Chain A
């Protein structure tokens, strides 16, 4: 009948469980995933992260002569798929979660890359770093082909093929 009084000794033994954040440390474990940080030195501008990002927080855009990798924390769901997918391991997941700000532009981080332009049509199609990386990994591509955008490459290959037929 009076079993419900037993909550009193339990309450006294437990004390107060509230944490007085922000005057005390927040409750964050070692596996916690917060905002990401992209290392500009390692990033080559391949865009693999932008293709896997579920809410499209990472976007790769071409503005004039620069390729910009934009990271918008406002859309980020802190899943860490970009860090798993990046072939250069340029993205690291930090434990930052105190991201609130009064100015939305604080939430954008940009990484800029120089672009390569096609030697025939002048269109920019890839970042210089990615071009150099591919060239270093696949050594037997002739350097003239490396300087062409995909459309011109196809046209040149077709010309060579037709030329070989004649």
Chain B
């Protein structure tokens, strides 16, 4: 190692070059370094290798990475660092699963010309990340079509929320004149905006699936979402470090703890905070309890979509005991609120451990019976088998995560590939099925429940004594940290750039964001009746349509018809 280090020092004397210790990663770094004057620095710390590159050479590097196996794009974070160095910076996080290492390619874009050529033709998974960076920060991606993904269609140009100088008054200045003009036009005196449509309170969750159907078969599907964009990343920039876990927990109502754990891990990774082992064990215990409750919920919802309401009721009955256990251990049924940077806030004692063991035995026995019975119901069996097929090649190309990927044979699990919390101290299997249909994804989740119960038996047995959080820690600005956790839906990854009192830039990437592009592939040639179940099988946080789009395939015409016109004109509106 010493000789190669001195050899590399010849190349560039200003930046540090450290040789990574693992083989695949070392090969990659060497290949990247062959771009010589376009690569400005390589740093390795724990599981992260940071490589600063020039923006021109990004497509070539990503092309080279695409030829290797076992490397997936985990997330991309765009950050406004004009106060620090006068640039915008893009962080592409690639994960090398087998070696538990992340490779972060950092490309700086000058503030007068924040543009970079797109890599969506090389790596399909980067599509939404580029669109989001364009919407939120105004970064131009050359040679591709850019459309509004995250922000609504009528958002004014030139107003980019994640830029540091963003001010809500600018936005109001642009929106208000339009509304006033229209009001004058129709002679209204007061303006009261009532949002209806994808945001309507009568719908479960707002989103929009455009299904192109021929008869009862779905030919293609398009998804438009981000209707409840709450601006959590921007909110987090204004809160103190220990207030953010509570915000992070409310990103998702079913898997909130993974978000707060992931955030805490990102900050701990950035600042090298040594979390006591007891805290790591408690975090793992609560994470597994959350996984059990989430999968039980999903099984119930899937059975409900198939019409088997009895299975739904029984599954949620079993889940209720898990919720009560969570409340006993943390103080709240769902938004647990026990994570802070550096550890946890509530301890567990032997009384709680014995109650937890009782609940686990109950869940194990009852859930096994329920799954056997449910899969044997003829209609459930017939509708789960062979529907919503997702081929393995597509799963790899889109870098899918979680049970959606594992149901198609793609064996990825953050607990094993990038160990965190207490997972390195216990042994567990990662269930994988290769058929890729809805039944495979169901069985992956069912097996994961039993695996989680086994893990919990091990964890509850081995909890080490000690304190539950660090005494104190000091924030240091501008350090990069990555925290990732295996949520029930897949991989959650948070990337953080620290600031003095609060995060400078916080990037949240939830697993459904990564999995949604797979839906059109799964829905092609499926029956319309299977569409809700297929959409639900990636376990998103929504599953309903809200508008009718009629696409006449023979004539090639597309019309959007609001519900009011439809109900007045009837079928004539469609013709």
Residue ID in chain A nearest B369 by CB atoms: A10
Q: Does B5 contact A (CB under 8 A)?
A: no
B256 → chain A closest CB, angstroms = 12
Q: Does B247 contact A (CB under 8 A)?
A: yes
CA distance A1 to B372 in the complex (A): 11
Q: Which residues of A contact B369 (CB under 8 A)?
A: 6, 10
Partner of B377, one of A4, A28, A84: A4
Q: Does B243 contact A (CB under 8 A)?
A: yes
B230 → chain A closest CB, angstroms = 14
Q: Which residues of A contact B332 (CB under 8 A)?
A: 32-33, 78
Interface flags for B371-398 (1: CB within 8 Å of A; 0: not) read: 0111011100000000000000000000
- Residues A79 and B246 in contact, CB atoms below 8 Å apart: yes
Q: Which residues of B contact A33 (CB under 8 A)?
A: 331-332, 337
Residue ID in chain A nearest B320 by CB atoms: A17
- Residues A3 and B346 in contact, CB atoms below 8 Å apart: no
- Residues B242 and A81 in contact, CB atoms below 8 Å apart: yes
CA distance A31 to B310 in the complex (A): 32
A31 → chain B closest CB, angstroms = 5
Interface flags for A1-24 (1: CB within 8 Å of B; 0: not) read: 101101100110010010000000
Interface flags for A67-103 (1: CB within 8 Å of B; 0: not) read: 0000000000111110010000000000000000000
- Residues A31 and B372 in contact, CB atoms below 8 Å apart: no
A21 → chain B closest CB, angstroms = 13
Task: Report whether over half of chain A's contact residues are helix, strand or loop; otherwise say mixed.
Answer: loop
- Residues B335 and A77 in contact, CB atoms below 8 Å apart: yes
- Residues B243 and A54 in contact, CB atoms below 8 Å apart: yes
- Residues B317 and A77 in contact, CB atoms below 8 Å apart: no
Residue ID in chain B nearest A7 by CB atoms: B373
- CB within 8 Å of B: which A28-45 residues: 28-33
- CB within 8 Å of B: which A44-77 residues: 51-55, 77
CA distance A30 to B370 in the complex (A): 30
Q: Does B329 contact A (CB under 8 A)?
A: yes
CA distance A14 to B369 in the complex (A): 13
B interface, how many residues as a size bin? 20 to 34
Partner of A31, one of B247, B346, B374: B346
Q: Which residues of B contact A77 (CB under 8 A)?
A: 246, 335, 337
Best-buried of B330, B372, B376 by chain A (most CB within 10 Å): B376
Q: Does A162 contact B (CB under 8 A)?
A: no
Q: Does B328 contact A (CB under 8 A)?
A: yes
- Residues A79 and B337 in contact, CB atoms below 8 Å apart: yes
- Residues B243 and A29 in contact, CB atoms below 8 Å apart: no
Q: Does A120 contact B (CB under 8 A)?
A: no
Q: Which residues of B contact A31 (CB under 8 A)?
A: 327-331, 346
Residue ID in chain A nearest B366 by CB atoms: A10
Q: Does B150 contact A (CB under 8 A)?
A: no
Q: Does A27 contact B (CB under 8 A)?
A: yes
CA distance A51 to B502 in the complex (A): 13
Partner of B328, one of A29, A55, A78, A81: A29
- Residues A29 and B327 in contact, CB atoms below 8 Å apart: yes
B49 → chain A closest CB, angstroms = 34
CA distance A11 to B374 in the complex (A): 14
A residues near B, CB below 8 A?
1, 3-4, 6-7, 10-11, 14, 17, 27-33, 51-55, 77-81, 84
Interchain Cβ contacts under 8 Å between A and B, 11 examples:
A3-B372, A6-B372, A10-B370, A29-B328, A31-B346, A32-B327, A33-B337, A52-B243, A54-B243, A55-B246, A81-B242
Give me 6 other A-B pairs in contact (C-beta within 8 A), A4-B378, A53-B243, A55-B246 excluded: A6-B372, A7-B310, A7-B311, A10-B369, A30-B328, A77-B335
